[in-house]
Amino acid sequence: MTYDPTPDQRVILDALKSFLRNRVAPGAAERDQTGEFPLELTRELGELGVMGAQTPEEYGGAGLDTATFAMIIEEIAAVDGSLCLTVASHNSLCQGHILIAGTEEQKRRFLPDLASARKLGAWGLTEPGSGSDSGGLGTRAVLQDDGSWILNGSKNFITQGSVGGTYVILARTDAPRPGRSKNDGISAFVFNRDEVQGFSIGRTEDKLGLRSSDTAQLIFEDVRLDAGALLGQRGGAFKDVMRVLDGGRIGIGAMGLGLGRAAFEFAARYAVEREQFGQPIAHNQGIGFKLADMDTQLEAARLLLRKAADLKDQGRDFTVSAARAKLFASEVGVKACDEAIQILGGYGYIKEYPVERFWRDNRLTRIGEGTSEVQRLIISRHIIGRYAQQNVTA
C-alpha cells in the first residue's frame, strides 16, 4: 500500500480539484444560504466521471476502486459538504444497490443514466417510524396476479428525494419466515420516477446543514411496479441493504474526514496569522496542541478508511472495518470542526468564515447511514462474538 496517491489517482484528483476550485467553491457559501440544489454541477461532475465513480465502464461509469472513491469524496467534502452528500449517496446507495443486487438487464437499463448524472439516484430505506431499526419498516409491496407489484407507504429523509430520477425503495413483501428476524421478508424495487403513477414528494426538509443537498419525504399510493422492478431476491433484500450500507459508510466517513480537514486547514492558517498578546495564537500550546490533535486524528481516520476500502476491493469482509472507519472519521471530523470554531474565537461563530458551515454540514456524518451508536453496536457485537468463545485464565 502506498500512502500517497498513485500517478493515476493524482491525474483524477488534480482535475477534480481544479473543478472544485473554479466551479464549486465560489458558490458554496451562497448555496448554503439559499438552499438551491446545484443540478448543473451534478451534470458537470457526471462529465468528469465522478457520478459513476465506482460503476464499471461497461455501464458508463469510471470503474474506480474504493480507495480512489474515498479520496474523491474527501476532496469534494473539503469544499462543499452538500454536493458531497449528493455525490456519495448517488454513488454508494442507489448505484451501489443496483450493482450489488441488479440483474444484467437492470444494470444496463439504469446505470448509464445514473453514471452520467442524466438522472440522479435516490435510495429509500428510512421511514417516519423506522430509522436505526430499519427492519421495522412499514412500506408494503403486494404481488398481483399478473406479476406486477402495488407499493404503498412513505419514506423519510431521502437524499435526492425530490430531484431524483431513479429510485431504489425498500418495502415489506412477505411476513418473516418462522425462526427468522423481522429483517426477513423485505424486498427492494428499482424504477424511474417518470414511469410510475401514484408516487409523490412530501415535505422537503429545512436542515441544520447540508442545506443545498435535497432531503425529502416520498409518498407511495398504489404505485404499480412491473415485475422487472424487483431488485435482488424477493424477501431477501436486507442482506443487500447491509452490504450497501457497509460501502456507503466508507463514503460518509470520507465526507467527515474532508469537512474536518477543511476546518483544520482553515484554523491552522488562521492561528499562525492571528496575533493576541503580541504573538500568533498558534504559539500558545493551548492552540498548538489542539492543532496537533486534530492533525493526528484526521490522519488516523484516513488510514482506517483506507483499510476498509482496500478490504472491500479485495473482496474480503469489511463490515467491522467500515464501521470503525465511519465511527472514527465522523467523530474526529466533527470534533475538528468544533475545535476550528474555538480557534477562530468569535470569528468562528459568524458566517463570514466557513468553519461554522463545515461544522453544521459535518454533524450529519455522525447520524446518516447508521449513527455512531449503531457503528458501536456493530463493533461491540463483533468483539463479544470473538471473545465469547475464549476461556478466561489467570
Ligand X SMILES: Cc1cc2nc3c(=O)[nH]c(=O)nc-3n(C[C@H](O)[C@H](O)[C@H](O)COP(=O)(O)OP(=O)(O)OC[C@H]3O[C@@H](n4cnc5c(N)ncnc54)[C@H](O)[C@@H]3O)c2cc1C
Helical (H) or strand (E) element with 288: helix 285-313
Annotated catalytic residue, options 104, 265, 369, 373: 369
- Range in contact with ligand X (rule: CB under 6 A) among 119-127, 261-269, 282-290, 301-309: 119-127
Residue selected from 355, 364, 375, 378 as contacting ligand X according to rule CB under 6 A? 364
Asked if residue 353 binds ligand X (CB under 6 A), the reply is: no
Pull the grid cell for residue 388.
465469547
Q: How far is the CB of 77 from ligand X (least distance, A)?
A: 14
Cβ atoms within 10 Å, residue 317: 11
Q: Which C-beta is closer to ligand X: that of 67 or that of 364? A: 364
Rounded Cα–Cα distance for residues 239 and 235 (Å): 10
Closest to 190 (Cα-Cα) out of 151, 137, 243, 147? 151
Q: Least CB distance from residue 208 to ligand X, whole Å? A: 9
* Selected binder of ligand X within 27, 228, 371, 382 (CB under 6 A): 371
Among 55, 106, 159, 183, binds ligand X (CB under 6 A): 159
**Please, which residue, 215 or 319, has the CB nearer to ligand X?**
215
- Enumerate the β-bridge partners of residue 230: 189
DSSP class per residue in 325-386 = HHHHHHHHHHHHHHHHHHHHGGGGGSTTSTHHHHHHHHGGGGTTTS-HHHHHHHHHHHHHHH
Kindly state whether residue 368 participates in binding ligand X, applying the rule CB under 6 A: yes
Nearest residue by C-beta to ligand X? 131
Contacts of 323 (CB under 8 A, 6+ apart): 246, 249, 370, 375, 378, 379
Kindly state whether residue 367 participates in binding ligand X, applying the rule CB under 6 A.
yes
The residue among 66 and 217 lying less far from ligand X, judged by its C-beta, is 217
> Under the phi-then-psi rule, with left for phi > 0, alpha for psi from -120 to 50, and beta for the rest, what region is 121?
beta
Whether 5 and 72 have beta carbons less than 8 Å apart is answered as no
Is 369 one of the catalytic residues? yes
Of 83, 230, 69, the C-alpha closest to 150 is 230
Site string for ligand X, 5-44 (x = CB under 6 A): ----------------------------------------
Q: Are 177 and 233 in contact (CB under 8 A)?
A: no
168 lies in the site for ligand X, by CB under 6 A: no
The contact mask relative to ligand X for 135-154 (x = CB under 6 A, - = no) is --------------------
Nearest to 195 by CA among 154, 227, 166, 217: 166
Q: Which residue of 210, 229, 252, 337 would you call a contact of ligand X, by CB under 6 A?
A: 210
Q: How far is the CB of 85 from ligand X (least distance, A)?
A: 7
124 binds ligand X (CB under 6 A): yes
Could you say which of 64, 158, 325, 337 contacts ligand X (CB under 6 A)? 158
Stretch that binds ligand X, among 41-49, 207-215, 272-280, 346-354 (CB under 6 A): 207-215
Query: Using only C-alpha atoms, what is the Rg of the chain?
Result: 22
* Of the residues 19, 59, 157, 328, which one makes contact with ligand X according to CB under 6 A: 157
Among the listed ranges 95-103, 144-152, 235-243, 363-371, the one in contact with ligand X (CB under 6 A) is 363-371
123 touches ligand X (CB under 6 A): yes
Cα angle 76, 320, 330 (rounded to 5 degrees) comes to 35
Residue 55 vs 281, nearer CB to ligand X: 55
CA-CA distances (angstroms) from residue 56 to 296, 313, 374? 35, 13, 31
Active site residues: 369
Binding site for ligand X (CB under 6 A): 89, 123-126, 131-132, 157-159, 207, 210, 215, 364, 367-371, 373-374, 377
